[in-house]
Each structure stands twice: as C-alpha cells, then as structure tokens.
Structure 1
Amino acid sequence: MSEKIQVLGSRKGLTPALQHYSVVNVADNSGGKEAMIIGVYGYRGVLRRVPFANIADMVMVSIKKGTPEVRKQKFRAVIVRQRMPYRRPDGTWISFEDNAVVIINPDGTPKGTEVRGPIAREAAERWPKIASLATLVV
C-alpha cells in the first residue's frame, strides 16, 4: 500500500446522482450482482444532509444479491456508470443505462478479473487499474 488512494476530487458543480441506500448493479465478476450504497468516502456534509456520490467516487457497499460468499458483506467500490446525466468539461452531456459499481480491495485494485459493460472516462482516468480490465471506455 505504497500509493495513497485518491478518494474525492472537486465536488463543485456536481448534482447529487447516487445517495445513501441507492441500489446499484455490480459490473465485475467478483460474485456480487446487486449492491446498496451505505457510505461515501471523503464526504463531509452538513447535519442531516444525505451523502451523495457521482462517477469515479469511492463508496462503501453492502452486497444484496450474489454468491453466498459475498452476500451480506461490506466492500469498497467505485462508481463507473450513473443514469443521471452529467456534463463534461467539453460541454457534452452523458448518461448511462444503469447505475453500476466495481468492487475494489482496500489498496485500490479490483476484486474481479473483468468489468462488464462500458465505464465512464472519468472513472478510467482516476482508477487506471479498473480501466485496464474494462472492455469499453466511453
């Protein structure tokens, strides 16, 4: 664990896309199929404000559906797709068909060996180890 994991980037101008108790798909082959967001790393909010996360943010998830080895366990994950449209610096708007995460180990490496479906360019730039497993970067 020689390198430090970048938890959050600039939050300015981002709309809340995924919040606490949002149900997301698991986009890798780690054994989980569906997960629930139970925490957002690095979120410093206001009292009684629900934490939110966007593309490429690290979150804590609880696996709800999947193999018995990973069900009812908590893992760190990175958001790679979100349904809510967001704006890129070049002015284009992008949204995906579903909300999806990739489960990672505490050192930032993906738990699975492949990532199903496309992932956002923002997540690929921030997490290069996830980008190396992805089949398509949008």
Structure 2
Amino acid sequence: MGVSHRYHVTPGVFANSLVSVVDNSGAKVARVISVIGNRSHGVHRKIHNAGVGDMIVVSVVEGRPEVRKQKLRAIVVRQRRPFRRHDGTWVAFDDNAVVIVSEEGQPKGTEIHGPIAMEAAQRWPQIASLAALVI
C-alpha cells in the first residue's frame, strides 16, 4: 500500500452547526448543510460530519444582503474539537471556521483572517496562499 496524503482528522463540524466565515467574501456566519464526498452516504440516521480540510455546503446566515440565504461551498480551516497529528501533537482552535470557495475549490475572497490548520493548507494550496498564518 502506498502512503496516503490525506490525514485522518477527528470530525468537529456537524450538519446544522453554525460556523464563522473568516474570509472577505461578505459572509460572516454560516450554517452547515452537508458534507461533500462523505463516505457514509445512505447510512440511516447518520449525522454527517466534517473535519479540517473537508469541503462542505453551507447556507449563509449573517453577512451582506447579496450573499445571505445562498447555498455555497466552503472549506473547514479551523475546528474546536482537538485532533491528533502524525507527530503526536494535539491541535485545537478557539472556533469553528470556514472559507467560502467555488465548486472547484478556488477561494471567493482575497484574504483570510486568523490562522488556518496545516491539514487544510496542504490539501488546498490556493487557501494556503491567502492565509497569513498556518499552524
């Protein structure tokens, strides 16, 4: 078996969670609707979950009027729930945060406020180039 570049991250963002949007796309708070590429699709009564670096579908709750009440895609860049890295360190952030992206994963904003996790930066290099701090 080859080495996988996809890290396993303990999920910390679930369906119907409120997350803060940390880019300058105009959205401030979003609600998680579903997870893109979830392996548990079709499992009865399963609560879909996402971790750092996963793409999700969100509905904008607070923000500018032109982006409110829209379904958009986003990438999870921070989560409150601690997750373990391969070197044994545990990482947890103060909030759950996402970055609004297009269908292909291109960020809609031009800057990202606050730090982002290294796992999200490795999986989405376009987001890493906008981030001021990668932890």
TM-score (norm 2): 0.91
* 2:106 pairs with 1:109: yes
- State yes or no: 1:49 paired with 2:52: no
The residue number in structure 2 matching 1:124 is 121
Q: Deviations over 1:45-101 (max 9, x none)?
A: 221111000000000000000000000001000000000000000000000010000
Alignment partner, residue 70 of structure 2? 73
Corresponding residue pairs, total: 128
Cα deviation for residue 10 of structure 1 reads 5.9
Query: What amino acid is aligned across from residue 51 of structure 2 in structure 1?
Result: N
1:33 correspondence with 2:28: yes
Per-residue CA distance 1:78-127 (angstroms, 9 max, x = gap):
00000000000000000001000000011211000000000000000000
Once the two structures are superposed, residues 18-52 of structure 1 have per-residue CA deviations (whole angstroms, 9 ceiling, x without a partner) of 11000000010000000000010011322111100
Q: 1:124 to 1:15 in 2, by over 3 A?
A: closer
Moved over 2 A (4+): none
Change (3 A) 1:10 1:96: closer
| Counterpart secondary structure, 2:57 | strand
User: Counterpart of 1:122 in 2: which secondary structure?
Assistant: helix
- 1:16 corresponds, among 11, 14, 23, to 11
Aligned residue in 1 for 2:57? 60
Q: In 1, Cα distance between the equivalents of 2:66 and 2:38?
A: 29
Letter paired with 1:51: H
Structure 2, unmatched stretches of 5+, are 1-5
TM-score norm. by structure 1 comes to 0.89
Alpha-carbon distance in structure 2 between the residues aligned to 1:10 and 1:50? 21
Name the % identity. Answer: 57
Hey, what's the Cα distance between the residues in 2 that align with 1:23 and 1:90?
30
